[in-house]
Amino acid sequence: MRVVFMGTPEFSVPVLEALAAEHEVVCAYSQPPRPAGRGKKLRPSPVQARAEALGIEVRHPTSLKSSEEQAALAALNADVAVVVAYGLILPQAVLDAPARGCLNIHASLLPRWRGAAPIHRSIMAGDAQTGVCIMQMEAGLDAGPVLLREALDIGDTETTGALHDRLSAMGARLIIEALERLPELEPQVQPDAGVTYAHKIDKAEAAIDWTRPAAEVARHINGLSPFPGAFVMRGETRLKLLRARALDDADAAQPGTLLQGPTVACGTGAIELLEVQPAGKGRMDAASWVNGAGLKSSARLGD
């Protein structure tokens, strides 16, 4: 098939690679290069960098609303467009341009977690499962009919970073299957019941509130890892908390108090910190950090 690919972040790269191995990717659309690093030099998106390495033409318009951009896309004579975490709204003229329309790879079990941050939100909400849906795109936020879906279990201490990689690989595999089976797949309209929205993660959400129940605190830490990273302040420095486990039983103590090793009291119960990242350092085992910092039981995190 002649495929137009639309994606931007690292999550999209395995999908691009899978498509390029099986089909003719005639063009890749991605968000424009952004300033990055200390020098604020323009850095291409992960999709642009990989597409160029594969010899695929890359376009990065700031909008697809103009008739010129829409005509340029239509001139590619694509059989299908595959969209995954692209970042631009597709006007109806773009949705209609490929002969078989536009397929979206979405990292949730729709209609749950439509929107920008489905992986973060699924972990933070305590979902037991998530997955990938291949959706026929229509006007509206992630509201089109689903052609193919597959679920997977979320691990007890799984972070957004780890789940991101599993879902990305799943999406790459499922889109190849969907394109092979496209004539036979029956679109399933999403039900109105069960719709939830995965709003974009705000950095203001990252501060830890130890007064919450242990299960919520652990999910908050795991769901925000590695970015933006849940944190507590120790004096003037920030300690990122990157992975944690909720404990069933714990001694009563003031929330935020170290009980034993990397175990911290919460509003109810306690969590065991598994990985942390002190300011200016790499991620490390939480027990090693507690020992290295010379912290004793009854010390508080967050003072």
Question: What would the pLDDT profile of 42-54 be if each residue is shown by its tens digit?
Answer: 999 999 999 999 9
For all residues of the chain together, what is the average pLDDT?
Answer: 95
Q: How far apart (Å, rounded) are the C-alpha atoms in residues 40 and 19?
A: 32
Q: CA 21 → CA 86, 107, 164, 250, distances in Å?
A: 20, 22, 22, 52
Q: Averaged over 91-110, what is the pLDDT?
A: 97
- Please give the average per-residue pLDDT across 111-129, as a whole number: 97
Read off the pLDDT of each residue in 56-67 and give the average, rounded to a whole number: 97
pTM confidence score: 0.95
Question: Could you tell me the pLDDT band of residue 154, with boundaries at 50, 70 and 90?
Answer: very high
Q: Minimum mean pLDDT among 29-33, 246-250, 261-265: which range?
A: 246-250
From the list 122, 131, 182, the residue with the least C-alpha distance to 158 is 122
**pLDDT of residue 140 exceeding 70:** yes
Inform me whether the pLDDT recorded for 188 exceeds 70. Answer: yes
Q: By three-state DSSP, how is residue 211 classified?
A: coil
Instruction: Tell me the H-state helices in the chain.
Output: 13-22, 46-53, 67-74, 92-96, 118-124, 160-180, 214-223, 286-292
State residue 303's pLDDT score: 62
pLDDT of residue 66: 97
How many Cβ atoms from other residues are within 10 Å of residue 230's Cβ?
22
Q: Across the chain, which distance is largest between two alpha carbons, in Å? A: 68
pLDDT (0 to 100) of residue 297: 85
